[in-house]
Amino acid sequence: MLKLNGYEIILASGSPRRKAFLEKLHIPFKVKVYPSDESYPSSLKGIEITEYIVAKKSEPFKEKILAKQIIIAADTLVCCDNQYLGKPKDVEHAKQMLMFLSGKSHQVITSVGFLTNKKFDIISEITNVEFRKLTYDEIGYYIKIQPPMDKAGAYGIQDWIGEIGVKKINGSYTNVIGLPLSQVIERIQFLTKK
């Protein structure tokens, strides 16, 4: 069990998967999300993008944070052939993303920001994922049974498409889902130690 030593964790994310991770680890937390613009300057690349967006998501909390609070914000992005894939805009866009990822390796980049009343820092993790060649029917079936509209790259590795389509993974599995848990736990332990 993680000892928080009187600290309150606030998850600045509406992601049901990030919430489920913290619940599974029995970490008491509250969810508070402010609307944020996830656009970024076109000059940014890879980790720079996710770290920029995490900083934007954390910004509204800076004036309101109390002592012994830790705000956790996160952003995940998929990178394949120098193209960055966030969440799909619609079903057709999701199909296009999955066809693009089919038969290729890609990177899943997640950055997690930790804001306290004293400082703000970010950790980032990259996981390499390789898909086998997916058929158009498999992609259509997946989108029908588990709509991936809230997932970067239009897929969840824990979903049906991940189970049948992921050929190889190198790095953190939980990072691909949206939160590199071992790093997050280490950072919380560091911030809450007496």
Separation of alpha carbons 172 and 184, rounded Å: 12
Residue 143 burial (CB count, 10 A): 20
**Both tokens of residue 116?**
């306290």
| 75 counts as catalytic | yes
Q: Rounded to the nearest 10 degrees, how much is the dihedral formed by the CA atoms of 127, 128, 132, 138?
A: 30
154: left (phi over 0), alpha (psi -120 to 50) or beta: left
- With tokens 């691909």, the residue in question is 176
Q: What is the pTM of this model?
A: 0.94
Question: Exactly one of 75, 90, 121, 150 is catalytic; which is it?
Answer: 75
Strand partners, 58: none
Look at strands 105-115 and 166-170 and give their pairing.
unpaired
pLDDT digits (tens, 9 = 90+) for 129-177: 999 999 999 999 999 999 999 999 999 999 999 999 999 999 999 999 9
Task: Classify domain 8-192 at the CATH topology level.
Answer: Maf protein (3.90.950)
**At residue 181, does pLDDT exceed 80?**
yes
So what's the pLDDT on residue 182? 95
Contact (CB, 8 A) for 69 and 8: yes
Average the pLDDT over 42-59 and give the result. Answer: 97
pLDDT digits (tens, 9 = 90+) for 60-95: 999 999 999 999 999 999 999 999 999 999 999 999
Torsion angles phi and psi, residue 172, rounded to 5: -75, 120
